[in-house]
Structure 1
Amino acid sequence: MAFVNVDLGATRFVLSTILVLLGGWALYFLYDGVTMRQRFRRMRAQGIPIPEPYSLIFGHLPLLMTLNKGYPNDAHANYAFKNLIQNWQKYYPNESKCPPLLYLDLWPFFPHALITVVSPELCHQFTQENPQPRHIIFKWAMTPLTGGIDLLSMNVADHQVWRTRLNPAFSTRNLYANTPGIVEEVSVFARLLKEMAGKNGEWGQMFTLYSRCCRLTFDVILRFVLGIRTQEQTKGPGPLLVAFRTIIPYCNTRNLRNMTVRLLPPYRRLHAHNSKIIRDILTPEIMKSFNSQSDKQNAVIDFAVRDVTQGKEPPSSEFMDALIATIKAFLFAGHDTTAQTICWLLWEINKNPEIWPRLRAEHDEVLGPDPSQAEEILRENPHKTNELRYTTAVVKEALRTHGLGSTFREGSHSFNFVWEGRRYPTYNAVIQTIPTAMLLHPELWPRVNDFIPERYLVPEGNPLRPIENAWRPFEMGNMRCIGEPLGMTELILVLVFVAREIDFDFNYSEWDKVQHRDPSKPPSLVDGERAYRCGEGMGCVKDQLPTRVRLRAGR
């Protein structure tokens, strides 16, 4: 029998080295935590408002537990901020008015101080007046899909170069040029919904609206960005959409749990498999654009490569990597957020049924009384969407009550907020805006929890009219969402094609029966409603918004 000689001295040395490294990491970890707690203690001593309860041992973790109390386990984290801002007197007992900044210490689960800005004036300071760079956590969130080198993750200088290159693709002129294609996809969406209706004005079978919205918005964004039509609505879901939907849940906030998940073999296998599918499908389509000789191409990709095809810039590997990553980012952001917003838009109108007649009246006035003619009219006159003022106001109010996008900027020693003569530090912090904090702030929005499209139609001086810089679901400044015009157009067109012909019933009780759920088990609710945003990252509408439809009388 053979024996292996073991050098006990070398073994002890290796073990000792590992123990020293682990001990050093543990000391650094604890030092980081002590530094964070001392920082918040100093700020509170200086008179900077810090929400209560705050513990020198646990930081704001007890506060977070309090804010989430009563919400379902799968409720999105943004509801905690809604709770905080709408009940600020409870959490700032020594303040006479709501602070403009919400400082949170969530160490060790979040390694930076978190600053949530809830003042339109201070939002202007860090996004418009003195724009701060995006924080690296955004790059980390996008890494599973884009490698963190896309337009949304770039540094300020590269972002400006690519934004200049891509702005013409999202201009009003180019949007009008693409409107016939968008109209065609939305008309398919409406036709398929009508096919789900029952006979003789009866309700049809239950289905989930969100999945259909995803296929619609994916068809639209693929057509707008790459100029290709995959017909996800009628032939899908295809492998490209499935691969995107598989990876998207991993585009989330950097914390201990999510960092651990990305290190595990199941994620690595899943990511490698689906990334290859996306790359194999997109790369040939992107390469086709370099061979186009026409100056009349109006897809985003045509504008992105124009400098290369015209010989103004060499097709470097860096350019190609950034191009492919940015196309992926557009396909992600351009379908997921819009799909969710369509769901919330129709949900809110159904809760406020007096809105439907006003929408229908406006559509009759602008597009004629025959809904079947809307597609042809809008193809020939895409500017007609600008005349739908009430429809636009309804869309804006849905974006206020269910805003999805957030911005994360990097604080520094060289940038401080200034408010009423006081300086608020931002060093070693993540600065963020959250729609549920800004757009549902009771001191900024009268009747904050009511759905009131008229806010955007009343004249200056009316208390309902939004104050400057308060409505910002697409953010503002040099990093404002480049796809805002496209998203608004899609949402308006959806209302045009469904309002006059389809009734909706968002019926969770019927869905419970379809899913054979235990009727004795209380359902999950947020603010008394079954439909709520759940999950991480962008999240999703609970149960993908189960619904059924019927054709309106006389249609």
Structure 2
Amino acid sequence: MPVNHSFLWGHLQNLGEIQRSFPATAGIGYTVTELAKPFTNGLFYIDTWPFSDPMLVVNTPTAANALQKYSSALLKPDDVNGPLNTLCAGSSMMTMPEDQWKQWRLLFNPSFSITYLTELAPTVANEVSIFCEKLRDIVKKGKRIELEPLASRLTIDVVGRISFGESMNHQRNDNPIAATVRSQAMWISFNSVVEPWTTLNPRRPFMNWYNNRLFKKYIGAVVDRRFAEVRASSISEKAKTKALLPKALEHYISNARTNGSSPDHLDPGFKSSLISNMIIFMVAGHETSSTTICMCIHSLATNPEYLARLRAEHDAVFGTDISTSHIMSMVQQEPERLNKLPYTLAVIKETLRLYPPVAGIRSGTPDVNLPDDSGKLFPTAGIKIWTVHAALHRNEKYWPEPNTFIPDRWLAKEGDRLHPIKGAWRPFEHGSRNCIGQALALIELKLVLIMIMREFDFEPAYAEDDSEVFGNKAFLAGNQGVGEVPYKGYPVRVKTANRP
């Protein structure tokens, strides 16, 4: 436990002192990274009274791996579940207890199977090709832009494909569902300590209510339309249905007919849960991916030797024709080529190590006691268990040169000093409640890098007096979404790549 504990204010003074050493906008993960350094065995308690229950910070794979076996049973704390339920206009897979969660996870698993997602790769490539068109327009104008909002339009369209079975076309025209997703994410607040201005803003309850009303209107209309389509479709057409929404509706109709009824409308409870789950897929799926796209680009733009190696791998696997039409054709004919990109995957993994957009939190119970690296057990009854990925991923005990972008970590053989320790990398978490969209995210990220990094050069365009974290202006900022997002939207200048 940190020193200087206050009877009235717990460890808030400690947190405040460290947080003041970072920019006000910096994500809380950076503060915890510094706070954790004296605790070399990887576990410690912090007291955030009077704002929250005490927390056990997990900064070691020893405890994180031990926690995995409880992951399906342990719920998120009420002050996390509450905002998430507000975000989604009801309970979703992110907040459901184990029995409900299992039912929905089984229902959605086929839509995230690697077989289906590989088949979906050409569709994702088509969305990325529109992103490329937008970048070409930016090159012609020669203007400085914020890349994250542009990337988020791409990722929303990709998530729309997996969720609804159709593009939301948000890259070309404003989509009301997508706009509401962005607005709701901005107005959600999880912690009055970390996000006091968002929490106390008098407009927040109204905006949350208004956005939920729009969700029910717009997504509800899509659900009703797809329900009518699925009811009217033939058996052979249904066999092709794998997107989340039509697949769930097919399952609902099939169960009803098995029980001797032919439903002409959806049960209100099922429809409400379906809408809530569509919202969480939209929010979580687009924000984390758009953040990672920006940070991948930044990592490569500021490390030209790694960019050259990435381009060489893409030339070897996809040929030297860098046109989007050529790449889309190859992905259509042989999507398995995406599995032949070890260096590209290494770049993505190393980016997610340095810039994990979210953390993990659960409520402890009397049955859960977690070990630190020395074997000492830490009780969790009445405690929040906070796995801080930003701290764990930069812990020098497990990562040589922890603040340096080194993709070769992920190609190092066992025994090499760079070889990652099992369980120390967890941006998608592990265990039964891991991120269901991990495979989709990796396919999307690979296609983005393949299709843009050989055609375009990116130059970070922060101002000289912009803030820095660990010597880097492109840090992750908090209080601007459900997770953490690039500082100032990641401003860049885009040029056509100058390649030999």
Picking from 463, 469, 473, the partner of 1:530 is 473
Q: Tell me which residue corresponds to 2:148.
A: 210
Greater shift after overlay, 166-175 or 272-281?
272-281
- The residue aligned with 2:117 is 175
CA 130–534 in structure 1, closer or farther in 2 if over 3 Å, else same: closer
Give the 3 Å change call, closer, same or farther, for CA 55–180 of structure 1 in structure 2: same
Structure 2 residue identity aligned to 1:288: R
Partner of 2:357: 404
Contact 1:125 1:131 in 2 (8 A): no
Q: Report if aligned partners of 2:71, 2:431 keep a CA contact under 8 Å in 1.
A: no
Matching residue of 2:88: 146
Distance 2:201 2:410 in 1: 48
Q: Answer whether contact 2:45 2:57 (CA < 8 A) is retained.
A: yes
Moved more, 123-132 or 144-153: 123-132
Partner residue of 1:72 out of 17, 23, 32: 23
Q: Which residue of 1 aligns with 2:13?
A: 62
Cα distance, 1:78–1:340 mapped onto 2, change above 3 Å: same
Cα displacement string for residues 273-327 of structure 1 (whole angstroms, at most 9, x for unaligned residues): 3222222211121223323222212211122223212135785333222111000
2:11, 2:382 → 1: CA distance?
A: 17
The residue that corresponds to 2:248 in the other structure is 304
2:371 counterpart of 1:418: yes
Q: Residues 139-194 of structure 1, C-alpha deviation per residue, up to 9 Å, x if partnerless?
A: 11212221340011111111111111111110011102211110100111112112
Residue 341 of structure 1 pairs with residue 289 of structure 2: no
**Amino acid across the alignment from 1:422:** K
User: What residue identity is the alignment partner of 2:105?
Assistant: R
Kindly, what percent of the aligned residue pairs are identical? Answer: 30
SS at match of 1:53: coil
Show structure 1 runs of 5+ residues with no match.
1-49, 93-97, 513-521
Give, in whole Å, the separation in 2 of the partners of 1:391 and 1:526: 26
Higher relative contact order (CA 8 A, sep 6+): 2
Mapped to 2, the partners of 1:546 and 1:260 lie a distance apart of 25
1:7 corresponds to: none
What SS does the aligned partner of 1:508 have? Answer: coil
Superposed CA deviations along residues 76-135 of structure 1, whole A, max 9, x for unmatched, are: 2111012223xx23xx5xxxxx0321210010122x111111111211111236754122
Figure out how many residues of one structure are paired with residues of the other and give that number: 480
**In the aligned structure 1, how far is the partner of 2:417 from the partner of 2:367?**
37
Q: Which amino acid aligns with 1:462?
A: D
Is the 1:198–1:549 contact (alpha carbons within 8 Å) kept by the matching residues of 2? no
Q: Is the 8 A contact 1:262 1:268 kept in 2?
A: no
Q: Which residue of 2 aligns with 1:35?
A: none
Summarize the alignment of residues 402-481 of structure 1 with structure 2, pairs less than 5 Å apart.
402-419=355-372, 420-481=374-435
Q: 1:259, CA displacement in angstroms?
A: 9.0
Determine the C-alpha separation between the residues in 2 that align with 1:257 and 1:368.
48
Distance 1:264 1:463, change over 3 A: closer
Equivalent in the alignment of 1:321: 272
2:211 is aligned, of 264, 274, 283, to 274
Corresponding letter in the other structure for 1:530: K
Equivalent position amino acid for 2:330 in 1: I
User: For the structure 1 residues 67 and 173, does the alpha-carbon distance in structure 2 shift closer, same or farther, using more than 3 Å as the test?
Assistant: same
Instruction: Please tell me whether residue 549 in structure 1 is matched to residue 494 in structure 2.
Output: yes
Summarize deviations over 1:350-379 as a string: whole Å, max 9, x none.
121111111111111111111121111012
2:66 is matched with which residue?
A: 125
- Checking the alignment, whether the CA contact within 8 Å between 1:141 and 1:254 is kept in structure 2 is no
| Unaligned segments of structure 2, at least 5 residues | none
1:495-534 correspondence runs (5 A): 495-509=449-463, 522-534=465-477
Letter in 1 for 2:184: I
Is this contact kept in 1: 2:88–2:212, CA < 8 A?
A: no
- SS in structure 2 at match of 1:504: strand
Question: Quick one: distance in 1 between partners of 2:425 and 2:473?
Answer: 26
Answer with 375-384 or 287-296: which moved more. Answer: 287-296
What TM-score comes out, normalization by structure 1 length?
A: 0.82
SS in 2 for 1:370: coil
Match in the other structure for 1:230: 168
Normalised TM-score (structure 2) = 0.91
**How do residues 347-362 of structure 1 correspond to structure 2 at under 5 angstroms?**
347-362=298-313
- Determine the C-alpha separation between the residues in 1 that align with 2:58 and 2:13: 21
CA contact (8 A) 1:219 1:231 kept: yes
Give the direction of change, closer, same or farther, for the CA distance of 1:529–1:260 in structure 2 (3 Å limit): closer
Q: Supply the distance in 1 between the matched residues of 2:146 and 2:378 (Cα, whole angstroms).
A: 46
Corresponding position of 2:57: 116
For residue 45 of structure 1, what is the aligned residue in structure 2? none
Looking at structure 2, the residues matched to 318 and 331 of structure 1 have their Cα atoms a distance apart, in angstroms, of 20
